[in-house]
Amino acid sequence: MTKAPTATDLASALIQCPSVTPAEAGVLTLLDDLLSPFGFEVHRPTFSQDGYPDVENMFAKISGGEGPHLAFAGHVDVVPVGEESMWQQPPFCGAVKDGKLYGRGAADMKGGVAAFVAAALRYVETHGAPKGTVSFVLTGDEEGPAVNGTVKLMQWAAERGEKFTDSVLGEPTNPNSMGDMIKVGRRGSQSGTVTISGKQGHVAYPHLANNPVPVLAKIVEHVSAQTLDEGTDFFQPSNLEFISFDVGNPAWNVIPEQASARFNVRFNDLWTAETLGQFVTKHATDCLSGGAFKLSVSLEADGSEAFLTRSDSLIDRFSKAVETVTGKVPELSTGGGTSDARFIKNYCPVIEFGLVGQTMHMVDEHVAVADIEQLAEVYYEFMMQYFER
Ligand SMILES: [Zn+2]
């Protein structure tokens, strides 16, 4: 059998594939060539949808008989490098300098992918295939539209009869140092538009028109002033922000027919898209005196629901592994933006733990070599506990 690579060497090799979303750029072939000799069954489905780029993904697994199925999940695509001349280290060099590994994706999240692949290969090398299944759910469509990636890959795997017990997503979750934070859920995100229709007319004859602009201004102020909730044990308070006020009227002498304002809500598990829509409609209606204006509240279709992972056995065992390796008891958090965990949670409990995220998406993205190796150690320790139970 070939030898398991170190997490740092593997991360460096992955960084050298310029897989700017949605390009594969050799990164899945590299993993395929690495995993197959260890006995992994590797699949590389490409998913398509009108209006979106085709994306190649990977599902790889190894089974050593009856037992739980642990899926490590992540993405191998990266965001563009921006102004390349700003980089001190070339963005796809994967070079190690002064104890740091440099390159686009070092933190987000080729370092995380390399750490769980290296940990699993070390496990297989040392103990053979686990009693159960270890799999890798890897997409090239996380930094892109997220249409032909994890959402379809999980569905594809489930249709093939894969039953996932637990999942660990390797996104960077630590704000400052390794062991700070495990994500055990995520807030939801929902965008929408409030539109007020009045009656168009001449500015000189306002009694013949109905101006929607002052009404919309009142709505924006009134809805913004509402408290959605006070937060919960695991979630911060939900928050609604108006992000745009649009009339689009080029004339100075015309009262416009319509005005609209767009908003985005980051919300906890006390809310759904439906109840948020009702909330905005109710408080916007408060601002309509009389029936001369028409209100409509529409919600975008691509919102995501909030979720909280309620598997104590997964959270406790993973926290224990983090504590054993880093000496710290990690905070359990649901903060930050959304991630592909929102697609995985429909199949099994999912938590997120990865590298320190400070330089993600930045120029000269880098991570400490010691952090990558420690992350691989956490994943390895977790696998030891997970499969020896
Ligand atoms: Zn990421």
Does the structure show a pLDDT above 80 at 48?
yes
Q: How far apart are CA 355 and CA 368, in angstroms?
A: 9
CA of 55 to the centre of ligand 1 (A): 16
Exposed (0-12), middle (13-18) or buried (19+): which is 290, by Cβ within 10 Å?
exposed
CA of 354 to the centre of ligand 1 (A): 10
Q: Exactly one of 142, 340, 371, 377 is catalytic; name it.
A: 142
CA of 171 to the centre of ligand 1 (A): 5
311-355 pLDDT, tens digit each: 889 999 999 999 999 999 999 999 888 899 999 999 999 999 999
Binding-site residue ranges for Zn(2+): 75, 108, 143, 171, 361
225-250 pLDDT, tens digit each: 999 999 999 999 999 999 999 999 99
Amino acid identity, position 237: P
Query: Does residue 323 carry a catalytic annotation?
Result: no
Does the structure show a pLDDT above 60 at 389?
no
Q: So what's the pLDDT on residue 1?
A: 57
CA of 378 to the centre of ligand 1 (A): 19
Q: How far apart are CA 143 and CA 168, in angstroms?
A: 19
Residues above pLDDT 70, as percent of the chain: 99
Pairing of strands 181-183, 331-333: parallel
Query: Does residue 371 carry a catalytic annotation?
Result: no
Domains in the chain: ranges and CATH: 7-186+306-387 (3.40.630.10), 188-299 (3.30.70.360)
CA of 205 to the centre of ligand 1 (A): 55
Q: Exactly one of 77, 269, 305, 381 is catalytic; name it.
A: 77
Binding-site residue ranges: 75, 108, 143, 171, 361
